[in-house]
């Protein structure tokens, strides 16, 4: 039933609360962290799946917004002082960290670049 599914998800969320706090703390202290976001739909509404990751750890968080409101609510990038690797979304540059642009995004954009003859 829907009630059972809700209770299972709620219990799982509660059980992961301490882990999420530790994971966010680890990501904030990491020297290099990748930040990205992808659009997806929940109940036919556009949301954004924000991904924060290192080589060993990944945190997925969903939000209705793509920009500052979402990023601030996740409580990682506002306190992060390492190298933030990202796709060049302008809002990322407003945070006080070093910035590196993601080469996977560069390559994807170059594939679609017009070629003049």
Q: What pLDDT does residue 117 have?
A: 67
Q: Specify the 3-state DSSP secondary structure of 44.
A: coil
Q: Tens digit of pLDDT for each residue in 8-28?
A: 999 999 999 999 999 999 999
Confidence of residue 109 (pLDDT cuts 50, 70, 90): confident
63, 82, 84, 90: which is closest to 74 by C-alpha?
63
Q: Give the helix/strand (H/E) hosting 25.
A: helix 2-29
Q: Tens digit of pLDDT for each residue in 53-93?
A: 999 999 999 999 999 999 999 999 999 999 999 999 999 99
């Amino acid at each position: 039933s829907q009630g059972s599914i809700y209770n299972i998800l709620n219990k799982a969320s509660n059980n992961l609360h301490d882990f999420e706090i530790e994971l966010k703390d680890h990501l904030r202290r990491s020297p290099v962290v990748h930040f990205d976001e992808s659009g997806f739909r929940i109940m036919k509404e556009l949301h954004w799946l924000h991904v924060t990751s290192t080589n060993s750890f990944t945190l997925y968080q969903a939000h209705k917004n793509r920009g500052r409101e979402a990023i601030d609510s996740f409580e990682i990038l506002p306190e992060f002082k390492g190298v933030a690797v990202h796709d060049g979304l302008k809002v990322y540059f407003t945070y006080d960290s070093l910035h590196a642009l993601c080469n996977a995004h560069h390559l994807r954009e170059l594939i679609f670049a017009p070629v003049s003859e």
